[in-house]
A and B are shown apart, each in its own frame.
Chain A
């Protein structure tokens, strides 16, 4: 497809649905396995126009519309129908008891006029009875309750067929949808992603991933996440491919379903499929030898790994486990991106011998220099290359204090300027100013500040951590993940991934604090003092910094996200506000 002809994603969809007509666009594995729901390109367009024609009557340009469907074809139809009706879709995780606060805060932030949802969800919002979201919020959040009571609810299957669609004109710099970021629950921010952003990002994804209409995309990534939506739902249309997909829960319940779909659909073409680091970990842990019987991964051409820190250990273990069923190590491709830059900032490099892993000198890293060693040792830290930066877009490494551009292989904050940088946060000038309007010391700009630390080696990008998590003591930089590893190795009562290191300001300088979970039965064989001293000694030996405070907490009480990522900032807040579940030591000597 020659995308120079297209200025909006609506044009892309129209063209591709006409060109690919009877080809399957979306194939949904409803139970993660055999039960199939599918739709062709041309039927998808007919459905989209019908739904758009129906909702046009109730909405005007720019109205926000929540998409609350669980993953499935209805979600994709509803999303694209909004684009055709010139209103702003807002994809969200369908509300349940755990995600309710987030949904309500997004409602507060974007003040939607309507929502697409299935019967069950509509009932939860506006059905009769005291347990509905309206009733529950009436007292505490009257604004939210009122917004919900005024919402029009749509369900794609309940529209009669009518030929009423009125074509609309979109412009390249119109916002196409709002992507709420996974950051903060209490003050969510909606990234305004434009047609131009999306066309460009899809173009680079297709180019970097070598994705074309002969390939098959397999996915379990939720469509309310930018990776699932852009990489899988949208770019599939852009390239004329077919998307075979399942709900994230289908994958998490039985991780082998992901690999089985990759294996089962290989007769249709080469497979393009990926996910965040934890997905690869989960496959290593949960897939049994019996389940591997009959898998054939030899047609898996590209397995991207993104949206979370990428670990060399995961790449190694995944490869070692699945090489016997045809997995090629070369296909494991780390990528880097963020919603504020649409999705992808750097991606796969077919010419490299992937994945590229560098052994960085620990001491040089403290003074922001990336110096490679040939061999791994206790003086090195492995860092995974996240591929090549998108051309025609400026990606710089910037010193976060002086705002000067760093030299090659110097570590600093990643800044981006170009056609994939989104238009800002929806109705949030302050956050937009801080994040999207950064200028270099020579006044060049505006740039997007990613908040991530890394370095460039030519046009290859390496990501080393989060700027806000960096611990700076006596002028040297320490990465929390390194200190946490050291702490874990210091005493047998501590579990891997069970602790967090951060710095606090005390006595007018930065001090290191370690919060760590202790195994439930640890005090049978040791005491608190033992553990604290071991931690302090080991951290000083390895990193040459004193530990100001060690807090031992109850097992499983460390703040983590649903996928098990450590929440370092939340942990620091809990520490400062005395909210940690500090372990109570029963007199173990008695």
Chain B
């Protein structure tokens, strides 16, 4: 994995950990998002945080369109 990919991945893992109030090592990147039990407002907020980080426009449904963190990172890494 490129270093850019792993940066994005760390960023997402850290933010989801913050959202769920757990330590980052508890966040499994291949676990489906719906298993985390993130409510839809938090999911849309997460998209806003990612938009700022990557400086690009993303769809609000991002976390429903991709199954887990690994799939999402793969999509985000080919964006630019």
Contacts and interface: CB of A to CB of B under 8 A. Distances in A.
Interface of A: 96-98, 249, 252-254, 278, 282, 286, 495, 519-521, 555-558, 560-564
Given A282-B45, A564-B42, 20 more contacts: A97-B64, A98-B40, A249-B60, A252-B44, A253-B44, A253-B45, A253-B47, A253-B60, A254-B52, A278-B41, A282-B41, A286-B45, A519-B22, A520-B26, A521-B26, A555-B22, A556-B20, A556-B37, A557-B37, A563-B39
B54 to A, nearest CB: 13
B48 interface: yes
A220 to B, nearest CB: 12
Contact of B61 (A96, A495, A556): A96
Contacts of A561: 39
B11 interface: no
10 contacts: A254-B48, A286-B45, A495-B21, A519-B21, A521-B26, A556-B20, A556-B36, A557-B37, A558-B37, A562-B40
B38 interface: yes
Given A97-B64, A519-B22, A520-B26, A252 B45 contact: yes
A298 to B, nearest CB: 27
A98 B65 CA distance: 12
* Main secondary structure on A side of the interface with B: loop
A98 B22 CA distance: 26
A424 to B, nearest CB: 31
B51 interface: yes
Contacts of A557: 37
B44 A98 contact: no
B37 A564 contact: no
Interface string B5-23: 0000000000000001111
Contact of B38 (A519, A521, A556): A556
A564 B22 contact: no
Interface in B38-76: 38-42, 44-45, 47-48, 51-52, 60-61, 64
Contacts of A564: 39, 41-42
Nearest to B60: A249
A521 B45 CA distance: 25
Contacts of B44: 249, 252-253
A144 to B, nearest CB: 22
B36 A563 contact: no
Contacts of A252: 41, 44-45, 48
Nearest to A285: B45
A253 B42 CA distance: 9
Nearest to A252: B44
Given A249-B60, A253-B44, A521 B23 contact: yes
B39 A520 contact: no
